[in-house]
Chains A and B, each alone.
Chain A
């Protein structure tokens, strides 16, 4: 069974040789894994851990995204990032928020927004063909990412207040993001001529204890856009997968109605996200990806704990419906043995790596 066949077996509950998997790791963890496994490249690492997915995308040909003297760099929406170090790792953090002080439609209109034209789609089909044994996907957790994506340009707290007050600037920014991503995805799907398997989306709808926003707000402000984005993917024969951190159980029925096929990342330590309960309630209604905790089991558990967690998922989802993976990028400090144990228990780890 190749990765694509395995994925389709998972999706249609028609059986598979092992559950599919997808690798999520921070750059630091990836570097440690590469060293440990003797991987020569990131792609090599994905092969060795048995990641069934391959991302493709258009080539960026838009205006130069500048790097500044202070080391900060520019994002697509005019925001700026810096690498913020914490112990042995680093995260890009937004430090320049272009929409933080915007309070009128006129000043927003003067801003430059990214365009689908900023990408060259001519190589997509070729990339898809090269990755045909795998699950070919486009986009990711930042699409459309109306909460975090706009927060990086306006501030997290401001975005939360925007949601409560339905601030016109925020609503205009949501529209801008939707139009940009919709057109970019459409062009990718057209160019790939049916060879894209999955369109990935993201929206962090939950926190550790519950939803970040009311289901009513979601329905009013987010759902219409997601309905169109999911429908776009389906029209071109792709399935939809959406990353969402936190406690999101209460959104799942609505997401299924809107056209979600796979919920990623299933943060099992968050409230109402117990994997057995999710299986009981949603099995064969939506597939899951993730669910091996980066908050508890992977960093703080033993190899036996990791194996037990993976075996539980294999048992619960023996007919399909689960892509076993970490619940987020695996963080620096996580024992490499635990990571390898996860992939070994899934059955995806290259056998020669098991004892390396």
Chain B
């Protein structure tokens, strides 16, 4: 029987090879994928997030843990889809129009995936229309916006406006982040939430997902 603690540690230490092998072993032993995700993998990523927030882990450690998580998720996701298991939420994430900086956005995307969310990564330099399309066509109920530059921050407001214009603002939550972003700015542009770090973004997304109207 697969050692769950070893799998937990493989995620924690960013050992992608072991994480994949142990996940494969667990699935061969007919462990329920949803249970493996909820009881071992997500708690491991939550611990990674905690270590990051307390400055015991830094960006490099976070990234290799996320990579290990991804290697496990690649095996689990198709099985979850087969069973019709719902993710924690669907998030469309991107760096806003005019901005090419993606390390923060990628960290948040990886942590959200590790937190059980389905993530649609729209990349960088993403137009407001592309976020609207993701919400409409991909069923994203959370839009996550990233910007590094003070000069590209205003593009976030344009996304909120585009969602309003498309008539879907009520059913979509908007969360924002990036170096120059503050809670005050989030309030100013009418975003639903702000996080200053990747781990906090997962907690924020969980709280926003709980507030998404049931029809969404």
Whether both chains belong to one complex is answered with yes
Asked if A354 lies at the interface with its beta carbon under 8 angstroms from chain B, I say no
Q: Which of B160-216 contact A (CB under 8 A)?
A: 179-180, 196-197
Closest to A88 in B: B151
B70 → chain A, closest Cβ, in Å? 12
Bound complex: CA of A317 vs CA of B167, how far in Å? 55
Given contacts A295-B150, A332-B151, contact A214 B100 (CB under 8 A): no
B122 within 8 A of A: no
Contact string, B15-32, partner A, CB cutoff 8 A, digits 1/0?
A: 000000000000000000
In the complex with contacts A160-B103, A161-B63, A161-B67, A210-B58 CB distance below 8 A = yes
Pairwise interchain contact B100-A84, C-beta atoms closer than 8 A: yes
Interface contact B150-A294, CB-CB below 8 Å: yes
Q: Contact at B63–A160, with CB atoms within 8 Å?
A: yes
Distance, CA A217 to CA B57, complexed state (A): 11
- Contact B197 A209, beta carbon cutoff 8 Å: yes
Residues in B whose Cβ lies below 8 Å from that of A212 = 58-59
Smallest Cβ-Cβ distance to B60: which chain A residue? A164
Question: Within 8 Å CB of B151, what residues of A?
Answer: 86-89, 331-333
- Please indicate which of the listed interface residues A84, A208, A300 has the most CB atoms of chain B within 10 Å of its own CB: A208
| Interface class of chain B by DSSP | loop
Assuming the contacts A299-B150, A331-B150, A332-B151, asked whether A164 and B63 have C-beta atoms less than 8 A apart, the reply is: yes
Question: CA–CA, A332 to B151, complex, Å?
Answer: 7
- With A86-B149, A211-B55, A331-B150 known as contacts, the answer to whether A163 contacts B60 (CB < 8 A) is yes
Is B150 touching A213 in the complex (CB atoms < 8 A)? no
Interface of chain B residues 16 through 72 with chain A (CB within 8 A): 55, 58-61, 63-64, 67
- Complex Cα distance, B102 from A88, in Å, reads 21
Residues of A contacting B196 in the complex (Cβ-Cβ under 8 angstroms): 208-209
Distance in angstroms from A118 CB to nearest chain B CB is: 29
Q: Is A352 interfacial (CB-CB < 8 Å)?
A: no
B63 is contacted by which of A85, A88, A157, A217 (Cβ under 8 Å)?
A157
**B99 interface contact, C-beta 8 A:** yes
CB distance from B96 to the nearest CB of A (A): 10
The 17 sampled A-B contact pairs (Cβ below 8 Å) are A86-B99, A86-B152, A87-B151, A87-B152, A88-B151, A93-B100, A160-B60, A160-B103, A208-B179, A209-B197, A211-B58, A213-B58, A294-B150, A295-B179, A331-B149, A331-B151, A333-B151
A residues whose Cβ falls under 8 Å from a Cβ of B: 84-89, 91, 93, 156-157, 160-165, 207-214, 217, 269, 294-296, 299-300, 331-333
| Chain B positions near chain A (C-beta within 8 angstroms) | 14, 55, 58-61, 63-64, 67, 98-100, 102-104, 106, 149-152, 179-180, 196-197
Given A86-B152, A161-B67; 11 other pairs, CB 8 A cutoff: A86-B149, A89-B151, A161-B60, A164-B63, A207-B179, A208-B196, A210-B55, A211-B55, A211-B58, A294-B150, A332-B151
